Structure 1
């Protein structure tokens, strides 16, 4: 192979690898290490605890993130599932964990329905919820299942 072809192929390979976005792997210990700020909520007419995210979590905002946990189906269409740090019997809904131990997974494509407590890994864009009381603190958008 002549020198010109070698340079072009090397440049193309470098270019593609530079644009490929590696996912940041995180875990529930990181996601649950948050503080809370009490604020009055007019809709509830009460003080509510809102998240105060750590710098490590803020650095992941709007980035591609991988996280694994226990699936809790919440949408009959299968387009959205909850992902929990704990199995359903010990999850946030049951009062045995905090609100930072669960996240919304908005799937890019609906391929199948998940069984409760299936342990899966997902990759998607992490969006942080600062003040919507009707949504979890973490939302993984355009998510795809990754093989564990």
Structure 2
């Protein structure tokens, strides 16, 4: 069920023809400090249509720019709006925009959402709670059942 929900969200990528201009940022934290990631930095990605035979659908394939590639596998912090996807499975997405204007509802691009993979599942969040999360940024270009950006081992930092 969760894979179907995520696939439906990801599938809507093919409907988006959004190609934002990369935004150059320079962040030089120490190895222990998480990068305070911005949604603008996540716009350093372009998309092209690619055929996925396993689902018989064209979807947008990401090409991550150098700014985002430098952050892959690094500790990050990101603030956004929490969107519950599957409460029973503890599946949440962090969005640059509230639910009414988020990527899934139209009006935003796929670079405006990040999947949260919690270190310790259990806490329940409400739609549009504005929160900051810390974890490891993972870039995903190959698994069509996941979002392009993932924060692994995510933990809530505070209420922003």
Distance 1:105 1:35 in 2: 22
User: What is residue 76 of structure 2 aligned with on the other side?
Assistant: 65
CA displacement at 1:111 relative to structure 2: 4.4
The residue aligned with 2:103 is: 92
Q: TM-score, normalised by structure 2?
A: 0.75
Q: Which residue of 1 aligns with 2:147?
A: 136
Which of 119, 130, 135 is matched with 1:124 structurally? 135
2:69 and 2:83 map into 1 onto residues whose CA distance is 25
Distance 2:152 2:122 in 1: 16
Q: Which has the larger radius of gyration?
A: 1
SS in 2 for 1:145: strand
> Any unmatched runs of 5+ in structure 2?
1-29
User: Residues 26-46 of structure 1, C-alpha deviation per residue, up to 9 Å, x if partnerless?
Assistant: 111111231113222112334
In 1, Cα distance between equivalents of 2:91 and 2:76: 17
Tell me if 1:24 matches 2:3: no
CA distance in 2, matches of 1:133, 1:51: 11
8 Å contact kept, 1:69–1:121: yes
Per the normalisation by structure 1, the TM-score is 0.81
Q: Residue 40 of structure 2 aligns to a residue in which SS?
A: helix
Equivalent pairs counted in the alignment come to 130
Work out whether residues 44 and 67 of structure 2, in 8 Å CA contact, stay in contact via their aligned partners in 1: no
Deviations 1:96-147 (A, max 9, x none): 1111110100111134211100000000011110122111100100011112
Q: Secondary structure at the match of 2:42?
A: helix
Mapped contact 2:132–2:157 kept (Cα < 8 A): yes
CA RMSD in angstroms comes to 1.7
